[in-house]
Amino acid sequence: MSINSHTNTQDTVRVKTLIEESKDSRKLLMLGEKTIPKVLFVVAFLSLLTTVGIVLVLVTETIEFFERVSVIEFFTGTVLRPLSQNPEFGVLPLINGTIISSLIAMLVAGPIGIMTAVFLSEYASDRTRRVLKPMLELLAGIPTIVYGFFAFTFVTPLLRQFIPELGATNILSPGLVMGIMIIPMIASLSEDAMSAVPNAMREGALALGATKLEVTFKVIIPAALSGIIASFVLGISRAIGETMIVTIASGSSKNFTLDVTESMQTMTAYVVEVAAGDAPAGSTIYYSLYAVAMTLFLFTLVMNILARYVSRRFREEY
C-alpha cells in the first residue's frame, strides 16, 4: 500500500508540474497572440507613413516648381533646357524618351516572355521546368547597372555594325536590354497564371479532338488572360521606372524625336542627372527634379491601377 501511495504521489506531482508548465506556455502563447498583431500593425503603419511622406514631399516641392513655371508650359513644351540663360522646362522630351524605351522593351519582353511561359507551363516536363525557371529568374537578380554597361559596351557596338547611323548613345540599345531584363517578370507571372488553369479544361479540350497547340492558344491563354495582361502592365511599369540602364546607355540629350537611333533622356535619367549635378537647392532646376519625379510617380500609379483593374475585370474563378 505504501508503494502504491508513493507512486500515486509522484504521479500527482508530475501532473501538477505538467499543468503548471502548460499554464506558463499558454501564457506565453497568449502574450504572443496579443503582441504580434500590434507589431504587424506598427510595421504596416510605417509602410503607409513612408508612402504618405514621399507623396507629401513630391506634392509640396512640385507646387513650388509650378509657382515658377507654368503647368501648361511644362506639360506641352517640347524643349527642355534647364541650364541655359533662358531656361525652358518642357517635359515632353522626357516623356517621349520614357515611352519609346518602354515600348521597345515590351516589344522584346512581350513575345519572348509569353512564349517562354507557354513552354514552361504546357510543354516542359516537371524536371525541365524545375531547372529552367530558376535559371530564367536569375536574370531578375542581375544589378541594373550591369545591364547598363552591357547595353553601352556590347549591344550598342554590335548594333552599329548593322545600323551605321546609330549613335554611341541611343534609345534603341537600352530599350532592348530593358526588354531582356523584364522577361523573367512576364514569363514567371504568365506561367503562374497558366499553371493555375485547371487540368480538367485541358483534358476536356483534348478529349474533343483539339491539338496541344489549339488547347494552349484557344483554352489556356484565354483562361489565364487576366494574369497575362497584369504581367504585361507590371512589365511596362518596371520599364518606365528603370534608371541605370537608360542613364548609362541612352545619354543625356533631351531630344523630342521618334528616331530610335538618336540619344534621348528618360524621366528617371533626368532625375539622376539633376540630383547628381550642381543644381543649387531652392533653384528652379532643383524643383524641376520633383516635378519630373511627380510625373513619373503618376505614370507608375496609373500603370498599377490599370493592372489591378485588368486583373479583376478578366479574372476567371475556377
Q: Does residue 315 have a pLDDT over 70?
A: no
pTM (2 d.p.): 0.81
| CA angle at 120 for the pair 119 and 121, rounded to the nearest 5° | 95
Residue range 278-283: mean pLDDT, rounded = 75
Choose the final residue of a domain: 67, 94, 114.
67
Q: Quick check: 244 and 267 in contact, CB under 8 A?
A: no
Structural domain that includes position 35? 1-67
Tell me: do 111 and 185 sit in the same domain.
Answer: yes
CA distance 146 to 234: 22
Tell me: do 119 and 249 sit in the same domain.
Answer: yes
The sign of the dihedral angle between the CA atoms of 84, 89, 95, 96 is negative
Number of residues written out for the chain: 318
Strand pairing report for 88-89 and 80-81: antiparallel
pLDDT digits (tens, 9 = 90+) for 99-144: 999 999 999 999 999 999 999 888 888 888 888 888 887 887 888 8
Tell me: do 31 and 52 sit in the same domain.
Answer: yes
Q: Which helix (DSSP H) or strand (DSSP E) does residue 90 occupy?
A: none
Angle in degrees, 0-180, between the axes of helices 267-276 and 92-118, rounded to the nearest 10: 120
CATH number, domain at 143?
Answer: 1.10.3720.10
* Start-to-end C-alpha separation, the chain: 68
Query: CA separation (Å) from 34 to 37, 39, 41, 43, 299?
Result: 6, 9, 12, 15, 41
pLDDT digits (tens, 9 = 90+) for 212-256: 888 888 888 888 888 888 888 888 888 888 888 988 888 888 888
Angle in degrees, 0-180, between the axes of helices 284-313 and 2-66, rounded to the nearest 10: 130
Choose the final residue of a domain: 16, 41, 67.
67
DSSP alpha helices (H): ranges in 168-283?
A: 172-195, 199-207, 212-215, 221-223, 225-240, 244-249, 267-276
88: β partners = 81
Tell me: do 58 and 135 sit in the same domain.
Answer: no
Question: Taking Cα atoms as reference points, which of 253, 231, 236 lies closest to residue 102?
Answer: 236
Question: Taking Cα atoms as reference points, which of 238, 203, 21, 207 lies closest to residue 109?
Answer: 238
Residue 1: its pLDDT value, please? 47
Judge whether 178 lies within some domain.
yes
Q: Does residue 265 have a pLDDT over 60?
A: yes
Residue 169 cell numbers, joined: 548613345
Tell me: do 241 and 184 sit in the same domain.
Answer: yes
Count of domains forming the chain: 2
Residues 6+ apart with CB under 8 A from 26: none
pLDDT digits (tens, 9 = 90+) for 12-39: 556 556 556 565 566 666 766 777 788 8
